[in-house]
Structure 1
């Protein structure tokens, strides 16, 4: 049995018994870490509010037979602004759910951790377009996980001209390769997808102009296709 240190972001927690909580933490070095915080739901718990979802923490864990135990917690960045705003919280919950599904125990997840850390920081600052921050996060997460959508080259023939549609299987199609039953994509929607996938966070978060309504649907369809599931937290994100 040994102690070890986990630097990470709390993705979720849920009740265990009458006073404990199970935690899922995303660590850059250890990937997905699961552990139990004993007595955390008791009044006056020494962990207090330091293990709330979306907080960046440094946690000391003690190895157990089936589940490791939290013994010490240092709160690095609370991201309180995320939890206090219901729209930002819904977006963060969707980000966390995606990471929880994709991160693996014992496997490095540096890119995923840094992406989540940056995205939560943007949400905590009170963006004008929190849902756009979520969509940008998801497209960039897709790229990290090896299923980056092609947004400038037809996925069938390689053409970079006459882009006409977006296919959830991999990205854009030119007009020649677009099936008759596939909805066309507007220049505005394609530009918005490119901004979300590659643009700077300030423009994505603070621009007052709404994104084309089709963009969120395309991002959702693309992620659902490649994850082979729909993120439950998506349902609470207003559009």
Structure 2
């Protein structure tokens, strides 16, 4: 059977037998890929450390019947250790990995999604911004690429411009009082502006925002993301470290 080579981000790992692992990868040209890395849990493995979560690699894989086989790995981005060493960064990376798994399917080549995730993981590893801000910016951009852009500067229903104070994940962002369904909560203009800054990558505004403002923006973004991903993202809104496998 044929082999192929592709750049990949390790999203998840799962133990298999005594020495192997099943990897879930987001690849540049082949979308989501599940593959077996044989012998990587042995201390003698040459590339076990390269296949930890949130590492970026150049991998050669052998096409299998149900799972591909990792044959060779070259390291590209060593982000895993730095992310795992910081609790908030680890949670943020897990949320981004969950979102990527739902936005990109098997065989669904999406280079923009791949590079967006790589850039966000690099930023987390370098501690360029608050982890939750990096996560939220990634989620907004990834959802926009998938066809769900968030609206912060005009009513998402009728298009009326202005600083609207109601937010509806179902409608796609802020809505005017006339279009807002019953029960839609209000938000303040500063929080809406902060969501827009996270989407645009206006880090001068984001980085000077206080934690409470970031938390309010994160709540809106989490509701928006979980609505469009159609299920709960476990790593959003939790302060408990997920169990490592």
Please state which band the TM-score falls in when normalised by the shorter chain: over 0.9
91 and 162 in structure 1: CA distance in 2 versus 1, 3 angstrom threshold: closer
117 and 219 in structure 1: CA distance in 2 versus 1, 3 angstrom threshold: same
Distance 1:45 1:164 in 2: 56
Distance 1:85 1:196 in 2: 22
Distance 2:204 2:45 in 1: 38
Task: Establish whether residue 86 from structure 1 lines up as the match of residue 76 from structure 2.
Answer: no
Counterpart of 1:184 (choices 169, 183, 186) is: 186
**For each residue in 1:125-148, what CA deviation from the matched residue of structure 2 results, as whole angstroms up to 9, or x when unmatched?**
114511111111111111011011
Distance 2:192 2:29 in 1: 35
Partner residue in 1 for 2:233: 231
234 and 164 in structure 1: CA distance in 2 versus 1, 3 angstrom threshold: closer
Counterpart of 1:214 (choices 213, 216, 219) is: 216
Distance 1:152 1:208 in 2: 19
107 and 180 in structure 1: CA distance in 2 versus 1, 3 angstrom threshold: closer
> Unaligned stretches of 5+ in structure 2?
241-245
Partner residue in 2 for 1:197: 199
Partner residue in 1 for 2:19: 19
Q: How does 1:1-239 map to 2 (within 5 A)?
A: 1-79=1-79, 80-169=81-170, 170-201=172-203, 204=206, 206-207=207-208, 209-210=210-211, 212=213, 213-237=215-239
Aligned CA RMSD, in angstroms, stands at 1.8
Distance 1:130 1:96 in 2: 14
Give the deviation of 1:211 after TM superposition: 5.2
Give the deviation of 1:201 after TM superposition: 4.8
66 and 207 in structure 1: CA distance in 2 versus 1, 3 angstrom threshold: same
Give the deviation of 1:180 after TM superposition: 5.0
Distance 2:55 2:84 in 1: 10
Distance 1:149 1:128 in 2: 22
Distance 1:162 1:171 in 2: 12
Distance 2:217 2:11 in 1: 26
Give the deviation of 1:158 after TM superposition: 1.6
17 and 111 in structure 1: CA distance in 2 versus 1, 3 angstrom threshold: same
TM-score normalized by structure 1? 0.92
61 and 198 in structure 1: CA distance in 2 versus 1, 3 angstrom threshold: same
> For the Cα contact (< 8 Å) 1:192–1:211, is it kept in 2?
no
Residue 233 of structure 1 aligns to a residue whose secondary structure is coil
TM-score normalized by structure 2? 0.90
Aligned length: 237
Q: After TM superposition, what 4+ stretches of structure 1 lie above 6 angstroms from structure 2?
A: none
